[in-house]
Amino acid sequence: MVGETIEVLRAEVERVVVGRRAELDAVLSTLLAGGHAVLEGPPGTAKTLLVRVLARATGCSFRRIQFTPDLMPSDIVGTNVFDPRDSSFRFVRGPVFSDIVLADEINRAPAKTQAALLECMEERSVTLDGVVHALPAGFTVFATMNPIELEGTFPLPEAQLDRFLMKVRIGEIDEAAEREVMARVAEGIDAWALAGSGVRPVLTSGQLAGARAAVRRVAVEPPVRDYLVEIVRRTRRHSAVVLGASTRAAVALLTACRARAACVGREFVIPDDVKFLAPFVLAHRLSIAPEAQMESVDGYRVVAEILEATPVPRSQAA
C-alpha cells in the first residue's frame, strides 16, 4: 500500500522535475523516514524546485525561508509580541511551523540562526521564554546549499550536518533529460507556476503519518543488520578518514533503508537498499584527513570503496 502511494507521489513530482530519479528516491526516503535532508548543488539544478513540487504533491503545509546574513533566529521560530489590548504577550509563530520547510541556502545565515533551525530539527519543538511549542507532526526540513560560491557563507560544521539524515548531491542532468526539459518548456509548462503545471496533491498529512508508521514495521533481518554495521565500522578504519560514522549514523542508515524498502512496496530491507542509501547517509558524516583531501578524496569516494570491498550477505542479495 505504501509503495503504491509513493509511486503515485513520485509520478506527480516527475510531471515537473525531470532526470532526478535517484535524487528523488533519496528525498522520498527522507520524507518517509521522518528525517531531514540537505540538497547540495550549483545554481540552476532544480534543488528548490524539487522541494516545492514535492510539497505541493503531498498536500502538506509548506514554507520557504530564504537564508541571508541578516536572518535572525526569531525570523525562523517566531517571537512573543506584546498585545496592548490586554497587556499580555502572545506567541507569533514563525515559518518553521509547517509540515515541509525549505531552508534555502542555509549556509548563508550565521551560525546562531543555523543553530536555531537545527535545534528545531532535533527537538521538533520551539522553546521561547520557557514555553514549549510543538512543531507539526509532519515537520521535515529540506535545506539547500551551493558548494561553489563560498563568499558570504557560513559552512555547516560536521556536528550540525550530522543532524541531517541525508545529504543529496544535485548535479547536472543527462542530455536526454535536458532535451525533455526544453520540450516541456516549449509546450508552455512554467515550473514556477505550479498551479498550472498539472501537479495536484495526492497525499494528505494523515496518509503521510500512516506511511511513516508503516516504515517502522519494515523488517531488517540479522544478516542485513550485520552488513550495515560492518559498512559503518569500516568508515572508522579507512586510511583517509580521521573520524568515521557514529552509531547514530548507523541508526540513521537503518531507518532510511526501512523507508526505502517501504517506498518500493517491500516489507523487508535488502542489501541493495543499504548500498543505494549509504552514500547519501554516511558520506557527509565522515571527516577526511587533510592529506587525503589534497588528493581529491571525499566521503563519497570512501563510501564507494567500502561498499565495493564489503561482502554482501548471499541469502539476502538482490
pLDDT digits (tens, 9 = 90+) for 106-124: 988 888 888 888 889 988 9
What is the rounded CA–CA span in Å between residue 263 and residue 256?
10
Output the pTM of the full model: 0.90
**pLDDT over 90 at 15, yes or no:** no
What is the rounded CA–CA span in Å between residue 316 and residue 226?
12
Please, which pLDDT band fits residue 315 given cuts at 50, 70 and 90?
Answer: low
Q: What is the pLDDT of residue 317?
A: 45
Kindly give the residue spans of alpha helices, DSSP state H, lying in the chain: 2-13, 21-33, 47-58, 73-77, 111-123, 158-161, 175-186, 205-215, 222-237, 247-263, 271-282, 290-293, 299-309
The pLDDT of 13-23, averaged and rounded, is 90
What is the rounded CA–CA span in Å between residue 253 and residue 251?
5
Q: Does domain 2-69+96-211 have CATH number 3.40.50.300?
A: yes
Secondary structure of residue 148 in the 3-state scheme:
coil
What is the rounded CA–CA span in Å between residue 47 and residue 41?
7
**pLDDT over 90 at 60, yes or no:** no
More confident residue, 90 or 28: 28
Per-residue model confidence as pLDDT tens digits over 225-263:
999 999 999 999 999 999 999 999 999 999 999 999 999
Cα 231 to its chain centre, rounded Å, is: 21
Q: Do 261 and 273 touch, CB atoms closer than 8 A? A: yes
Q: What is the pLDDT of residue 196?
A: 65
Lowest pLDDT segment from 65-79, 137-151, 222-236, 299-313: 137-151
CATH topology of domain 218-313: Helicase, Ruva Protein; domain 3 (1.10.8)
Please, which pLDDT band fits residue 89 given cuts at 50, 70 and 90?
Answer: confident
Domain boundaries defined on the chain: 2-69+96-211, 218-313
Strands of 191-282 (E only): list them.
241-243
Q: pLDDT > 90: what percent of the chain? A: 62
Per-residue model confidence as pLDDT tens digits over 273-297:
999 999 999 999 999 999 999 999 9
HSE value, Cβ hemisphere, 13 Å, CA-based, for 102: 22
Q: Do 249 and 282 touch, CB atoms closer than 8 A? A: yes
**pLDDT over 70 at 211, yes or no:** yes
